[in-house]
Structure 1
């Protein structure tokens, strides 16, 4: 497996992951979408199917890590060579940004309808336009940031960080115990399916507090895209929170690697 295979596989796979995962959130959240209001179950299963599809596509090239926390856990347990880690990370971040841009393209009309709605962003005819505009400008998270990145329901740094650590540790440990740390071609079709179901389970059980990033690239790449894309009235990208869905999953991946080495290796 060459460095170019790793980069291409992770770029394509992570782009598909974000396209389908961010796409289901856009479908549920944005106005004038046929899926609007479909709810949390649709989002969690949508992300699970996104993982399934992305992993099947990228596994032949890169073993389908799709997640810096997974790459770290595998490197710590000997399943990935450290020299390959930069190519995994670069591919994952590149793919995450590209996937987020594709979500924007696919839902361009819905983004415009949502972000020009007076009930959401204020405007002429609102009861107090100046107050509405000031409130939006002061907001740390814009009205469609949730399509791109995660955010907590209750802002508590320790709780939010621990939630991401715990959720990611479950994911990475589930992957390691299926044998992806061993030499070979990585997870087979059954392993990919199991991993996708684990992601659904984490979303249903642990996704409520923070939106379960459990993947630094999945959160940071689309957050960068949100900051750069020409979305009207998009508000802030919540950079004050952005470190938690990066550091938390990386710590969770390292924790899972340590547990694996102690209990299973």
Structure 2
């Protein structure tokens, strides 16, 4: 909801866009609210610890860094798919509003609404795709479908003269489908006492990728002179994102092949049959 509201801020908060400083004041207030929420949680947690007697946490195996190399192919395929997918989506969202305005003559309000479509789609469709995966399985196959959907989107945005709703809808479905399947799939691939480590490594690599590609896309837009006067300057960055899509599709295919083989973990089976 926070990301959705931020993308819609040019609509509901248009009066704040008269200068560069006013949006920063809004962000400052939101930041203070976050700090207040953290302090409130700490107070409530401290109170609960004193009032209630909680059982001791169960022991977990100690994790050694060398254990990372014991994770099998399917886990690392998921990690690579994760970093390529999020590196193709979030860095694009960083400059998407500017891109829609300069390359497609969208208003600031409409560009923000387009950017929010991914978040809105994930709010509605992600739980539904999760339920579908539990019912039919086919998790690796569904991740392949999501990778296929996102693959042509960026080049469509640059080279094709069509309604923006078409590529945005495709991206929204992929943005809902892949995460709904990808994150829960880790629990099929890793022992329970290593789940925390698996998710933390996966998130770390994902964030490193997002950081690197934010910088890379900014550099490519700058060096190509992307602007309202030169909308094709965005093409280089879109090709970079499309290459990530190709890598993601190949990895999703390899994951599916691995899971259909004798060393599969049940990703292609319905819950209860894994």
TM-score normalised by length of structure 2: 0.30
Greater helix percent: which structure?
A: 2
Between Structure 1 and Structure 2, whose CA radius of gyration is higher?
Answer: 2
TM-score normalised by length of structure 1: 0.30
